[in-house]
Amino acid sequence: MIENPVSIGNATCGRDGDLLLIAGPCVIESDSLTCDIASRLAEMAGRVGSPLVFKASFDKANRTSIESFRGPGLAEGLKTLARVREQTGLVVTTDLHSPEQAEPVAEVCGIVQIPAFLARQTDLVVAASRATTRHGGVINVKKPQFLAPEDTRHIVAKCEQAGSTRVLLTERGTTFGYGRLVNDMRAIPLMQQTGAPVIFDATHSVQLPGGATTGGQREMVAVLARAAVAAGCDGLFMETHPDPDAALSDGPNMIPLDDLEELWTGLLRIREAVTGSAR
């Protein structure tokens, strides 16, 4: 049976659990910048008093243009994430793209993330499920933009049949026509019916796909995040960067790092108003 709530480090995510925040830059641009962002996020989590998981990608394999920056790759990226974990004490997460990456990623990351475009790749889901089970981790599967929320039950079933009961689902919008993602907040309770806690990805939800590079409406991140917490999500996923306009990936939809704490604090107030507790 799928665990709910799921223990992640010193926190719990799910029924009567903490409002988990998964945050960090879109991609590992450099070891020093990534560690600096992680340190600032750890300090922020201490001030806010709420759990945070650090996220950064070692490879952006789904870039629109072949010329776009992808990251340092698996080996160097995992070294950076291991350093973040050791220096900050934060649980770390990253996304993977092929089954053979599952074992090395699960050795370092407390949460292994399946990208939305790959969530129906059975071999990848099974490999990640088995690896996280071996290492005591969690698998986080992003709902594909083309998938109805209730159909995520099939993804959860694959994870469970592969031996993983520690599963998160992430909602990140649904493709509507060309160049738009639409968020139907009914997706949150519908996905929760699978038994898994549901995370809301507030930054990828404001992407504007299409063109030479993907655009975004950064000003809408807070709007969607507040709506998702009011709708009962179990956690939030938000990418952040000290200077999003200079970021090497997904800058248009990332939150400036200096703005994150105020938003996070406000979201916890909404959570308290909805549930009677910030947990």
Domains in the chain: boundaries: 6-273
Nearest to 55 by CA among 11, 92, 108: 92
98 pLDDT above the threshold of 80:
yes
Tell me the CATH number for domain 6-273.
3.20.20.70
C-alpha span between 264 and 268 (Å, rounded)? 6
pLDDT digits over 146-176, tens only? 999 999 999 999 999 999 999 999 999 998 8
Rounded to the nearest integer, the mean pLDDT of the chain is: 94
Query: Model-level pTM?
Result: 0.95
Residue 241 in contact with residue 256, Cβ under 8 Å? yes
φ, ψ dihedrals at 18, nearest 5°: -75, 155
Residue 167 in contact with residue 154, Cβ under 8 Å? no
Range 28-44 average pLDDT: 98
C-alpha span between 34 and 190 (Å, rounded)? 35
Nearest to 61 by CA among 94, 18, 86: 94
What's the CA dihedral at 113, 178, 218, 201 to 10 degrees? -30
Residue 177 DSSP class: S
